[in-house]
A and B are shown apart, each in its own frame.
Chain A
């Protein structure tokens, strides 16, 4: 075995994988390992290269550089059908002229080695349909099903192959919001039942945060951060992750560290929680997580400012608060808080609310409010 060979309990392993079309690099070299039974979400905006990663693992796109191992085997030069992966597509990719039963059974009827008996195929089709609650619809055509049901057919067609790895390419993005929430739950139930490594592509941070064991955040062909949902939220690796994860979006402000190594934000001083002090004169970016800021009546509030705008969300409201000097924060408030534009608002920051990034956007440390200057 070569030094690059991955461990045995790793279902998928991508080693220095990169993709380019001619001179255009769409994916920078990266490493990623998915453990047996792990649910990994690839998250990023459109065109960031997340679907390309899935297609390379499936064998539908050639790998420009690097190695892909599935279940311990190098698959770069293995045909898609021999890779032991199953894929669920955004538009379901159901065969419109076949019944649900034939759609689900298709991978098995295509199987040559071993060639399966009709009875075996039928039994496995029924089992797969049962897992996704489709038994009553086996004789219908895809056109007679709802979006959610079609997606479940696609899922059953993947399940029936009993692959080493499931690849899901934005499987829920064609469904309406309510159905999407239901399907998230069903997908997780199915995953818990069959416990196979799953790579799941989405641009929806809620899907990523609720479903993933680990999330891979991508932007412009580069991996920004790999981590558990909580890590991405509490310690975003850079400004992109900080703004992409969390709603509402984290406002960012470019500031300069004073010569005495102190960082001023409006009329307060911030101290970094890192061991290394902030370099005097350095340009930094400060972001404040809206959901970790809240209104207070306490006189010892971190910030005081003027309410500019209020977004009512039902469960709570978010206020944009002007702190002066061109700085503003977004703050969570009670849903029925009586705040009007122009009112004075006092704001407290929970630990982990404030993040400091360097000039390139990489996170330096968290920060806390040291004292008010006035």
Chain B
């Protein structure tokens, strides 16, 4: 039953329901158009700089040449070459191995630092700045710094090793040491970033929960395992996927420090793509490897979106 306000009598709707429908439709359309107008520029950038290049990349995987001579359709040749090329397999293996070393290491170190920074009541600011500085270095500068740290003859580490009576270690010239060394440098560069990320996550957790847990008898370690880790899950999902995406594209520190050597022990997928495209001029092969990398990154992004979806 309609409730009539007894204080007002005789008030009538001024428009017919037909007119209301028409006006509502126009109103909604205007709102939608405004939204598209603001999305437009981004959409253009997305299409021009991402969608078209990826499609062009996919087309290029079925062709050869195209820079100096005319492009030629070769079917699945590039795909066959990619999967049968031992160096392509090595580059994938190196990249995966590198990620498996660098990501867990940087997360564990950053988590410990974040917990420590979160626990100290004051004086954290200068430490945070110091920790973040390596992240601000371009990889080439970091590589330059580490040349002086790691060099077999005049690097500080080997200076210390010799002083202690040991034989100098050729960090970047040894096939078993080179990849872990590059991973170590990337960990050094990334620690500040991930420490800030985890610290932000920790700061956002409600303090009352920790008071409750303290009263409930949970010690520091159990508070970390039973509360902090599960509560930081969204942060971790983001961190793992994002770090994987970034690390799969490992290029600059390898390029600056070892150029893939010794004996291809540090060739990463990105470096191999760069070589194929710009040194060997093998567009089809480079495009295929690139396309594989893009698809992997897209799949990981999809996984991240799935894991981070709002669950109640």
| Interface membership of A80, Cβ < 8 A | yes
On whether A87 and B212 interact (CB within 8 A), knowing A81-B218, A110-B222, the answer reads yes
| Interface membership of B208, Cβ < 8 A | yes
Identify which of residues 177-219 in chain B touch chain A, using a CB-to-CB cut-off of 8 Å: 206, 208-209, 211-219
| Interface membership of A233, Cβ < 8 A | no
Q: Hey, which chain A residues are within 8 Å of B215, CB to CB? A: 58-60, 80-81, 83, 85-87, 107
Tell me the complex Cα distance, A93–B206, Å.
8
| Interface membership of A127, Cβ < 8 A | no
| Interface membership of A5, Cβ < 8 A | no
Residue of B214, B215, B219, B231 with most partner-chain A CB within 10 A: B215
| Interface membership of B230, Cβ < 8 A | yes
Among A81, A95, A157, contact of B214 (Cβ-Cβ < 8 Å):
A81
Tell me the complex Cα distance, A80–B230, Å.
23
| Interface membership of A106, Cβ < 8 A | yes
B227 and A95 contacting across the interface, CB-CB below 8 Å? yes
Among B208, B230, B231, B233, contact of A89 (Cβ-Cβ < 8 Å):
B208
**Interface SS of chain B: helix, strand, loop or mixed?**
helix
Tell me the complex Cα distance, A122–B211, Å.
24
| Interface membership of B312, Cβ < 8 A | yes
B230 and A107 contacting across the interface, CB-CB below 8 Å? no
Among A83, A93, A143, contact of B211 (Cβ-Cβ < 8 Å):
A93
B209 and A93 contacting across the interface, CB-CB below 8 Å? yes
Identify which of residues 105-159 in chain A touch chain B, using a CB-to-CB cut-off of 8 Å: 106-107, 110-112, 143-144, 157
A58 and B211 contacting across the interface, CB-CB below 8 Å? yes
| Interface membership of A91, Cβ < 8 A | yes
Q: Mark B228-255, 1 if CB is under 8 A from A, else 0.
A: 0011010000000000000000000000
Q: Hey, which chain A residues are within 8 Å of B231, CB to CB? A: 96-97
A157 and B216 contacting across the interface, CB-CB below 8 Å? yes
A110 and B211 contacting across the interface, CB-CB below 8 Å? no
Q: List 20 A-B contacts (CB under 8 A).
A: A60-B211, A60-B215, A80-B214, A80-B215, A81-B214, A87-B212, A93-B209, A93-B211, A93-B212, A95-B226, A96-B231, A97-B230, A97-B231, A106-B213, A107-B216, A107-B217, A110-B217, A143-B312, A157-B212, A161-B216
Measuring CB to CB, which residues of chain B are less than 8 angstroms from any residue of chain A?
Answer: 206, 208-209, 211-219, 222, 226-227, 230-231, 233, 312
Measuring CB to CB, which residues of chain A are less than 8 angstroms from any residue of chain B?
Answer: 55, 58-60, 79-81, 83, 85-87, 89-91, 93, 95-97, 106-107, 110-112, 143-144, 157, 161
